[in-house]
A and B are shown apart, each in its own frame.
Chain A
Amino acid sequence: MNYTVNNKGFYGDFGGAFIPEMLHHNINELKENYLGIITSDSFQKEYKSLLKDYVGRPTPLFFAKNLSKKYNCTIYLKREDLNHTGAHKINNTIGQILLAKKMGKTRIIAETGAGQHGVATATVCALMNLKCIVYMGEVDIERQAPNVARMKMLGAEVRPASSGSKTLKDATNEAIRDWIANPVDTYYLIGSVVGPHPYPDMVARFQAIISEEMQQQLLVKTGKKNPDKIIACVGGGSNAAGAFYHYLNTASVQLIAVEADGLGVHTSKSAATTQLGSEGIIHGSKTILMQNKEGQITEPYSISAGLDYPGIGPLHAHLFKSSRAQFIGVTDQEALKAAYLITQKEGIIPALESAHAIAALEKISFKPKECVVVNLSGRGDKDMKTYSTYLK
């Protein structure tokens, strides 16, 4: 089985570029140029240098002694929460902003749900002195006020998406419409491994630094570069794509993707795409998505705004269909409980998204001595309001 994208932009049955002609020129321009630019020595040098000195990479691989004891195996946490801006999102925005500059673009647009990608985009735009417009659902603007304030302070314009359900899906639609209306000077900086080819492949390549470092760090710490299991949460799936990337073709490494069950898959409030979804097209990509029997895309729900997306990236759809990755669902309550567990056992307050990955530890049986890496994709500052409500 092959897990890399083919020359038509497909991972098995999934992917492609199902876009209106208005986007053809831009997507094609990107498709023709991205690999040449991002694999060049000069690009890699600049990218790696910014990751080191600006983002703070490599992020530590931390042996979580107390969690390991509890689950009777060896658990490492890949500390993406320690990146500048507090999550893995900036690995991708650094890469894409350098690409946008090389392509001569002067205006950057992005979509955001929880605001983490919006903040990471606004940050690199400030760094590179580029105009930045972030589309964000009206509902999300309301519930993620601290990130809205950060984006504004960084000089970005936050435009509310008021169509449809007024969340991430609609913010993405609005960003795509903006790109249609401004095809010449504008670069669309997508935040996850979603959207038309080449975005899923490009974003996965930028996030691949996570598993690249994991290999080196595991070798030093354990003498082997391969763990037995890697666990990561999946909304669109960018942190999971990065954590899995260099292990995709190593069958002995079990890949575990954790989706948000919300209030439970038997309620109407869930974001468990692989359990509730079917094949279709969302945001220009053929994948698995949540839709009703008329093909209308349905609104997902999760306590975590970053997992609140009705699809998954085409790579993940392929990993699911081919059974290369195991998909596990975690409810709001289970995630909250896990957030408190890791905070009190290890002194790390995780993002709600990452708490889903921690919660999956409860649902997996481990052999003693098994080596497990959990990708701790982000820190929990943004979720303090939710956490403190839960404590009451």
Chain B
Amino acid sequence: MNRLDKLFANKNNILNIYTTAGYPKLNDTIEVVTRLAEAGVDMVEIGLPFSDPLADGPTIQNSNSIAIKNGITLDIIFEQIKEIRKTVQIPILLMGYLNQLLNYGVSNFIKKAAEVGVDGLIIPDMPIDYYCSNYKALFIRNNIQMSFLITPQTSIKRIEAIAIESTAFLYVVSSYAITGNNHSINQTQIKYLNKIKKLELKTPQLIGFGIHSKETFTSACSYANGAIIGSAFIKALEDQDTIKNKVNNFIKKLKQ
């Protein structure tokens, strides 16, 4: 059984932390991910910095720009993951945009990702039908799992179709928003999250976008297998402290 399936089969309240590769400093990602694993995070999502991250809010955009200035490249990221995999066993996902994969060569990218120990991908601008007709077989052959997004506007019929292709987990976008909003979960969202819960989909679900505190994380976990925290963690990395302290303080606050 692969890392992702094993995790979802055995655990609830899954905490998935997003971090931008090459941020805050070029080689920090190795320590950031290692410390996250030590602090008990269940899985990590490593963002591939992109010049035009359409689905991301200002915090993640800014971390992407800094990482690009730091000189991050896909090859450096693969090297860093190889290093991380020497000690870290939790699932690792990559989150990036389709242009980056096309430019690298999708087939090369997938082979390389599999080789260094990546478990799955999130490509927000990959249309599901385009994926199915062009890349699905390649992904399956290389044991790279896929997560697609659903939003409050996605129809039930479409949710069911997307769930089938989401071999890693279904990424439930909590609201009409780009990443990084700071509100608590409201009544409209609760109605939506309950609707998804009632579908009793076989695909595990993680809730993302706007999860930023213990309160929002706990609340998200009551509707799904867990949740994803991105912008709030990137903000925490901005502090002037050691990576170890920044990571530990952030995770402690979520878990206490």
Which A residues have a C-beta under 8 Å from some C-beta of B? 16-22, 24-26, 163-164, 169, 173, 176-177, 180-184, 278-284, 291, 293-298
Q: Among the interface residues A17, A19, A163, A284, which one has the most CB atoms of the partner chain B within 10 A?
A: A163
At the interface, yes or no: B98 with Cβ under 8 Å from chain A?
yes
Q: Which of A19, A25, A181 contacts B153 (CB 8 A)?
A: A25
On chain A, the residues within 8 Å of B50 by CB distance are 295-296
Q: What are the residues of chain A within 8 A of B256 when measuring CB–CB?
A: none
Q: Is the CB of B125 within 8 A of A18?
A: yes
Q: Which residues of A contact B178 (CB under 8 A)?
A: 22, 177, 180-181
27 contacting pairs across A/B (C-beta < 8 A)? A16-B127, A19-B125, A20-B149, A21-B150, A21-B151, A22-B176, A22-B178, A24-B153, A164-B52, A164-B65, A169-B52, A173-B54, A177-B178, A180-B177, A180-B178, A183-B176, A280-B99, A283-B54, A284-B125, A291-B99, A291-B103, A293-B103, A294-B73, A295-B101, A295-B104, A297-B52, A297-B99
* Given A18-B127, A181-B178, residue A294 in contact with residue B100 (CB < 8 A): yes
B172 to chain A, nearest CB (A): 11
Shortest A65–chain B CB gap in Å is 47
Set of chain A residues within 8 Å of B98, measured between Cβ atoms: 18, 281
A24 contacts B154, C-beta separation under 8 Å: yes
- Which residues of B from 109 to 139 have beta carbons under 8 Å from A? 124-127, 130
Bound-state Cα–Cα, A190 to B107, Å: 33
A150 to B211, CA, bound (A): 41
Complex CA–CA separation, A181 to B57 (angstroms): 10
Q: Which residues does chain A contribute within 8 Å of B61, judged by CB atoms?
A: 163-164
Q: Give A183 to B158 CA distance when docked, in angstroms.
A: 17
Closest A residue to B68 by CB, please name it: A296
A182 touches B176 (CB 8 A): yes
Residues on B with C-beta less than 8 A from A295 are: 50, 99-104
Asked if B130 and A18 make an inter-chain contact with CB atoms under 8 angstroms apart, the answer reads yes
B236 CB–A CB distance under 8 Å:
no
Which positions in B face A, CB cutoff 8 Å?
50-52, 54-55, 57-58, 61-62, 65, 68, 73-74, 97-104, 124-127, 130, 148-151, 153-154, 158, 162, 173, 176-178
Task: Name A22's closest neighbour in chain B (CB-CB).
Answer: B151
Interchain CA distance A280-B104 in the complex, whole Å: 11
Give 3 nearest A-B pairs by CB, closest first.
A295-B103, A25-B153, A21-B149
CB–CB A279/B149 < 8 A = no
**Are A21 and B148 interface neighbours, CB within 8 A?**
yes
Q: In the assembly, what is the distance between CA of A18 and CA of B151, in Å? A: 16
Find chain B residues with CB under 8 A from A184 CB.
176
Nearest B-chain residue to A286, judged by Cβ: B102
What is the distance, in angstroms, from B100's C-beta to the closest C-beta of chain A? 4
- A299, closest chain B residue (CB): B51
From residue B168, how far is it (CB to closest CB) to chain A in Å? 15
Q: In the bound complex, how far is the Cα of B97 from the Cα of A147, in angstroms? A: 34
Q: Are A22 and B125 in contact (CB under 8 A)?
A: no
User: Which chain A residue has the least Cβ–Cβ distance from B101?
Assistant: A295
With most chain A CB atoms within 10 A of its CB, the pick from B51, B58, B65, B148 is B51
Max chain B C-beta neighbours (<10 A), residue from A20, A177, A293: A20
Further pairs besides A20-B55, A278-B103: 20, Cβ < 8 Å: A16-B130, A17-B127, A18-B125, A18-B126, A18-B127, A19-B127, A22-B151, A22-B178, A25-B151, A169-B52, A176-B54, A180-B55, A280-B103, A284-B54, A291-B99, A294-B103, A295-B103, A296-B50, A297-B51, A297-B52
CB distance B54 to A20 under 8 Å?
A: yes
> Is A279 within 8 A of B52, CB to CB?
no
B16 to chain A minimum Cβ distance, whole angstroms, is 18
- B176:A177 contact, CB within 8 angstroms: no
Instruction: Report the bound CA distance from A18 to B135 in whole Å.
Output: 14
* Closest-CB distance, B7 to chain A (whole angstroms): 23
What's the nearest-Cβ distance from chain A to residue B185, in Å?
17
Give Cα A71 to B124, complex, Å: 51
A21: chain B residues within 8 A (beta carbon): 124, 148-151, 154, 162, 173
Task: State A232–B74 Cα separation when bound (angstroms).
Answer: 39
What chain B residues lie within 8 Å of A279 (beta carbons)?
Answer: 102
Q: How far is the CA of A181 from the CA of B210 in the complex (A)?
A: 12
Task: Give B55's nearest chain A residue, CB to CB.
Answer: A20
Contact between A163 and B58, CB atoms less than 8 A apart = yes
Give the CA-CA distance A48 to B74 in the complex, in Å.
51
Q: Which residue of A lies closest to B155 (CB)?
A: A25
**Nearest CB of chain A from residue B64's CB, rounded to whole Å:** 9
CB distance from A160 to the nearest CB of B (A): 13
Closest to B102 in A: A280
For A180, list chain B residues within 8 Å (CB).
Answer: 54-55, 176-178
A20-B153 contact given A182-B176, A295-B100, A295-B103, CB 8 Å threshold = no
> Who on chain B is nearest to A8 by CB?
B129
Residue numbers in B under 8 Å from A177 (CB-CB): 54, 57, 178
User: Does B51 contact A164, Cβ atoms closer than 8 Å?
Assistant: yes
Q: Which of B52, B62, B173 has the most CB of A within 10 A?
A: B52
Task: Name the B residues within 8 Å of A173 (CB-CB).
Answer: 52, 54
Known contacts A180-B177, A296-B50; A22 and B99 CB within 8 A of each other: no
The docked-state distance in angstroms from the alpha carbon of A42 to that of B155 is 31
* Alpha-carbon distance between A163 and B51 when the two chains are bound, in angstroms: 10
Residues of A with C-beta under 8 A to B54 = 19-20, 173, 176-177, 180, 283-284
Query: Closest Cβ of chain A: how far from B207's Cβ, in Å?
Result: 14
